[in-house]
Structure 1
Amino acid sequence: MKDDKILFNTLQPSINGIMKRFLTLLTCSLTLQAQSSTTPLLNDGSKTTLLTFQIPTNGEKTLSSVEFSGSSHLKDITEISLAHQRKTGNRLFATRKTIANSFALKGSLDLPPGNHLFVLTISLKSSANLLHKISLQPTKYNFSDGTTKKIDHISSRPQRLAYPIHKRGDYDCHTFRIPGIARSKNGHLLAVADMRYNSRRDLQGHMDIGLRISKDGGQTWSPPRAIMDMGEHGGKSQDQNGCSDPCILVDEETGEIFVAACWTHGKPGTHQWRGNGSEPGFDIDKSTQFIVVRSTDHGATWSKPENWTKKLKDPSWHLFAPAPGNGITMKDGTLVMPTQGRDAKGLPFSNITWSKDHGKTWHVSNHARDNTTECAVAELSDGSLLLNMRDNRNRADKSGTNGRAIAHTKDLGKSWVSHSTDHSALPEPVCMASLIADPYRKGTVYFSNPNNKRSRSHMTLRRSTDDGKTWSSQILLDTKGGAYSSLVMIDENHLGILYESSVADMIFQKIPISEFNEETSEKPLIQSLFKGERFPNIVVSKEGTLIATWGNRHIRARRSTDGGSSWGPEITITNPGFQGGGTTVDETTGDILAFVEENHPPANIFIYRSSDDGLTWKKETPTIRPDSQGHHPSMHMNDHGTTLRHGKYKGRLIRPTRFYAGKNDREKWPEHYTNAIYSDDHGKTWQTSEPFPENGTGEACLVELSDGSLYYNSRVHWQERPKNPRRREARSTDGGHTWKNFRIIDILPDGHQHRSYGCMGGLVRLPIDGQDILIFSNIDTPNATREQGTVWASFDGGKTWPVKRLILPGPSGYSALNAGRPGTPSEGYIYLHAETNNGSRVARFTLDWLKKGTLTGDGNIPSTPK
């Protein structure tokens, strides 16, 4: 059974999609390929797919058991089943009703040669506590002939429970869409949404505004009922009297509740946001109407619909409507509702509508921004308002300027100014989002949306503790899904979110505020990535995709699009091939360049270029000019390069290299030196720099600092010098052509301290404007072996390294580092890809975690990075 492997994928809602994905997997003997995702678990007693995994077999085998381990609240599981998935029909392998932290599912199942897909489903107790989580993974599988395979541990996060507000077809309703949620003055939660009876499509159609109420903080909910239903108004059928896009607002002083929505009368086959779906004027047969219902008893009863169109709409506008989600009561009692519309030319805009007399009279603000639509409003600690808007420009803009439009007003929308985070901090695929202020914590605001520029996926919660200037922590809720959402403060310690998910039309989840603190300083997420061979590297594409490469005979890559929570299958870049220093991202074009040598250097160098975030690679033969001494560089085994972002050399690609004097003969080591190559034409031609100031140096890493200078950190490769087992550094102010200010870095070890040459290390500068926070990786051990992978931090561009922390206990070796991209799921994380025992592991961690490490005595940790 030496070639048996196991593959598993956690929490995937679509079995067919999994089968298709697994058919394309490239597997390696005795390896585990895992794709772990975050997906809500429904607490309604229905069956939920928790895991899927494949067991490949070479010959006829009889599976006898699969062992599992878990943690968290496994007692919430009432039944667990494992089935063999086949086109000809599933075969049940085993079912179990009693679950412990470690258990086995036992059965007898004959398996022919091939790959066999298994599906693990669970049922949870009806109304299991929403604060509970489930964590479960397979650990070993056994065959009747006595053979067994242990599965390498894959670190995975516990999965959060959710209440299904609506699943397709429930309550004689096809779909719920467009959530809004608020807390009434008596503490009840009120969830409103479109009840779309016949299909999930937008207006026009048969749909009402529905309501569900929770009196216990979201744990249970009343059945849905329509609170806004225009019936067969004007003699037209229900499907020509649709109501949509609810916005709920609670007057915190009087307790009165307003739910606003838009109503289209007639106009079958149209859409209010397109063409003449809604026209200028007030005529209900031509213009979509702004209607409102009210409740004065915490949502128990509701008024008849009131038509506010003539009160609010400029008659020249095509459309004026509430923005779905929720409105707010300001600290001075002003009611504010986010609104949107189409102007006299039919172009969209966002603004607010407000009342200072508890809803008797309302005022419409000036436009905050054009070509924007659905928006959310929050009051900041100084009493001003922040408006966060869906922006149509993001349909085409998938670059670094993709992001929510954000404006700020101090005069209730008479004037607006662009916020510092406008089109930069919060990426979007063009979708509604939610924003609320925390009334218990000054300056704290929360935001939710699909954290993805290209698709409505990766539903994410973010927290800012400085009134939205920065977003310091985030919680991923749903990897595969997530569209419209609405946030509510349940109480001082819990946040609620109502959103469109991957597992149901609409779900509700309850999140302890304390989890944001856990996210900020969370323990590293460590996962096995590759088996066999050597030489790690890792980069982050412009879109935020992580690409880890590996191999000294067969160059492979694995990708993560969710910030390192899960990793896709292996992709072959080239076979055979020798990893020549990994990869470099061209920040101008977005291309990723992998450097490959034919064999151990010196050898011919090729570039494999990817223009699709590492999915496919095309071979190129670059022109690399020798240095001033006539020496040609080698790539092996230097860290990733970078694109210069500042000054005269902006756009230049540069990466560390080395000169081999002959082969890797020990007597030639004193003649070796490190250097760099750089390209000003996106990697077609390369110039080699002058040598590093010290001979006998080897693999290196470099970064650009905030002033445009370069910091270079090198391994040594020759024993006859003082302080040999410590790292070397130099700097460049001419774009990397010459290197000066040589220094031995006494605080940084270069491999273990018992032999003459060091160990490849990783280096990255965190993407924080104006700050030179560097992270370095290497091994740090008193023993004569490569072990104890460790990371260090510098807060002054490498002058001092005041703190270090062990991250990979046990065997370790070569390592590479990179940092997440702002505005992507990788934001705020640091990534270490390192050799371990017969393979590699990747560790995801944060600067806050590292700052809690061991002080080195070399400089100080600033309490707040300057």
Structure 2
Amino acid sequence: MRALLSFVLLLGTAPAVAHAAEPRFDQHDLFTAGSAGYQLYRIPGVVVTNKGTVLAYCEARKSDKGDWGTINVQLRRSTDGGTTWSEPKTISDVPGPKVKNPVAVAKKLGGDGEVTYNNPVLIVDRKTGAVHFLFCLEYMRCFYARSEDDGQTFSPPVEITQSFEAFRPHYDWKVLATGPAHGIQLTSGRLVVPVWLSLGTGGHAHRPSVTSTIYSDDHGATWKAGEIAVPNTEEWVNPNETVVAQLVDGRVMLNVRSESKPHRRLVTTSPDGIGGWTPAKFDDTLLEPICMASLVRLTGKESDKTRLLFTNPATVDARKKITVRMSYDEGTTWPVSRMVEEGFSGYSDMAILPDHTVVMVYERGSVDNQSPYKSGSLTVARFNVEWLSEGKDRIAAAGALR
């Protein structure tokens, strides 16, 4: 009897058996070409606020002329993890007269009366709960606004173009752009936003180009320029749209698009996200079809296993086969990968829900089945690590990621 009682007590105190969660993947279109008065929706971004609200945003383009036509920034909110969404809302508006960028005028890119708002970036402030919003006007002015109500409303925009003047002694830019996609907050509280700059003399007035960061140490009140991170050289050709993550040792890593011959992503690190950037290196695993990518941290050093996620079209010659990759060693290797979309697929961004579900917004399909630059939709995909790793990821007790 005592033996039986001891066995029952032992069962009652035994640790729970670990069970992996079921693989999960679903997707639905969020912005559809030709709807609500816009021919195209491009350049997606997504963040998750401290309260778990998902904010998805993009460039809403009145025409298919390209980057210099009439473009607004639109945003949709979800308070149920990306299942249902609010109606689109325009959040870019600078009062007063607008002047077209002279380099666009010289190249006949865009016409009179067309106003280009471009390259939206959101950052969630984990310390204050605010949502920081940066965007550009005519690729030559930069503005900052913020939301104190989880992205429902934003403050009037304040111009911060002066912050970019510190770059001029090193690079006399005529075109500027933030991000696109999201910026990050470091553990120190510093806000870091990747930027790219161009002389505007080359193709589409976006070339030649270099990449860097701007940053704020006072929760967005003021912004300063960092050092040039990746210059334009014979080896590193036109580095531009850049994504960012903080590594578990505190360093800041930039993962950079370029037009370099190896067709691989460029990677550089800094101790503080401002300067001291290491010479850029090509990542042999990360193919580069010359397209924006996404980089986000899934789990950090408090986890049983740190995880970084990266996504872009996994080809060298076309915007298709968009693929998510996972790294357990802070981006040194990418042993896990899974394709999300085989056909036309381009720009993307990712954010992480409180339960570690990944929310990915990406350009999907083509309105003419020919051009990946004319996206059919911006699509939301939601998945967990079990789907991504096909059940081969190490799962913590009771199936929970840590």
Who is 1:217 aligned against?
81
Is 1:186 equivalent to 2:51 in the alignment?
yes
Q: Quote the residue 2:18 is aligned against.
A: none
Q: Say whether the 8 Å CA contact 2:298–2:356 is kept in structure 1.
A: no
Structure with greater proportional strand content:
1
CA distance in 2, matches of 1:179, 1:412: 23
Which residue is equivalent to 1:651?
Answer: none
Tell me how far apart the structure 2 counterparts of residues 519 and 318 of structure 1 sit (CA, whole Å).
49
Cα pair 2:23 2:387 within 8 Å, conserved: no
- The residue number in structure 2 matching 1:332 is 188
Rounded Cα–Cα distance in structure 2 between residues aligned with 1:226 and 1:209: 6
Q: Is the 8 A contact 1:472 1:520 kept in 2?
A: no
Equivalent pair of 2:23/2:391 in contact (CA under 8 Å): no
Structure 2 CA distance for aligned equivalents of residues 383 and 446 of structure 1: 17
SS of equivalent residue, structure 1 residue 253? coil
Residue 369 of structure 1 corresponds to 230
1:201 aligns with 2:201: no
Deviation at 1:294, TM superposition (A): 1.5
User: What does the per-residue CA deviation read over 1:36-67, in whole Å, with 9 as the maximum and x for residues that have no partner?
Assistant: xxxxxxxxxxxxxxxxxxxxxxxxxxxxxxxx
Q: 2:285 aligns with which of 425, 436, 452?
A: 425
Q: 2:328 aligns with which of 455, 465, 468?
A: 465
Is the contact between residue 386 and residue 392 of structure 2 (CA under 8 Å) also seen in structure 1?
no
Match of 1:436 in 2: 296
> Is the partner of 1:515 in helix, strand or coil?
helix
Q: Deviations over 1:408-434 (max 9, x none)?
A: 1113232111466x2412001100001
Q: Which segments of 5 or more consecutive residues in structure 1 lack a partner in the other structure? A: 1-130, 134-159, 265-271, 273-287, 522-866
The offset of 1:520, in angstroms, is 4.7
Structure ranking higher on relative contact order (CA contacts 8 Å, 6+ apart):
2
Alpha-carbon distance in 2 for matches of 1:446, 1:234: 39
Alignment of 1:649-798 (within 5 A): none
Change (3 A) 1:310 1:419: closer
The answer to whether the 8 A contact 2:23-2:384 is kept is no
Distance between the aligned counterparts of 1:177 and 1:232, measured in 2? 26
In 2, Cα distance between equivalents of 1:258 and 1:202: 27
Corresponding residue of 1:688:
none
Distance 1:297 1:427, change over 3 A: same
Indicate if the aligned counterparts of 2:144 and 2:158 stay in contact, CA closer than 8 A: yes
Superposed, which structure 2 residues align to 1:341-356 within 5 Å?
A: 341-342=197-198, 347-356=208-217
Of 125, 144, 150, which residue of structure 2 is paired with 1:251?
A: 125
| Unaligned segments of structure 2, at least 5 residues | 1-21, 101-110, 202-206, 232-237, 367-375, 394-402
Other-structure match for 2:93: 229
1:205 is matched by which residue type in structure 2?
G
What is the SS of the residue equivalent to 1:169? coil
Percent of matched pairs sharing the same residue: 27
* Secondary structure of the corresponding residue to residue 364 of structure 2: coil
- For the 8 Å contact 1:435–1:487, the answer to whether it is kept is yes
SS at the partner of 1:258?
strand
Q: What TM-score results when the alignment is normalised by the length of structure 1?
A: 0.37
Asked if the contact 2:44–2:58 (Cα under 8 Å) also holds between the matched residues in 1, the reply is yes
Cα deviation, residue 234, structure 1: 4.5
The aligned counterpart of 1:413 is 274
* Aligned 8 A contact 2:324 2:339 in 1: yes
2:252 to 385, 409, 412: 385
Asked if the contact 2:229–2:275 (Cα under 8 Å) also holds between the matched residues in 1, the reply is no
What is the DSSP-based 3-state SS (H/G/I as helix, E as strand, rest coil) of the residue aligned with 1:312? Answer: helix
How far 1:332 sits from its partner (Å)?
1.8
> Against the structure 1 CA distance between its residues 459 and 239, is the aligned structure 2 distance closer, same or farther, given a 3 Å change threshold?
farther
Pick closer, same or farther for the CA change 1:352–1:311 going to 2, 3 Å.
closer
User: Could you tell me how far 1:239 is from its partner in structure 2?
Assistant: 4.3
Report the number of matched residues.
335
Q: Distance in 1 between matches of 2:287 and 2:380?
A: 23
Q: CA RMSD of the aligned region, Å? A: 2.4
1:582-631 Cα shifts (integer Å, max 9, x gaps): xxxxxxxxxxxxxxxxxxxxxxxxxxxxxxxxxxxxxxxxxxxxxxxxxx
Deviations 1:474-500 (A, max 9, x none): 111000021000010112331110000
TM-score, L = length of structure 2: 0.78
Matched residue type, 2:118: S
Residues 808-819 of structure 1 aligned to structure 2 (within 5 Å): none
CA displacement at 1:202 relative to structure 2? 2.7
> Compared with structure 1, are the counterparts of its residues 325 and 405 closer, same or farther at alpha carbon in structure 2 (3 Å cutoff)?
same
2:197, 2:209 within 8 Å by CA — same for their partners in 1? yes
Aligned CA distance change for structure 1 residues 468 and 349 (closer, same or farther; 3 Å): same
1:319 partner letter:
V
CA deviation after TM superposition for structure 1 residue 319, in Å: 2.3
The alignment status of 1:506 with 2:371, answered yes or no, reads no
Matched, 1:323 2:200: no
Deviation for aligned residue 1:367: 1.4
Give the direction of change, closer, same or farther, for the CA distance of 1:317–1:234 in structure 2 (3 Å limit). Answer: closer
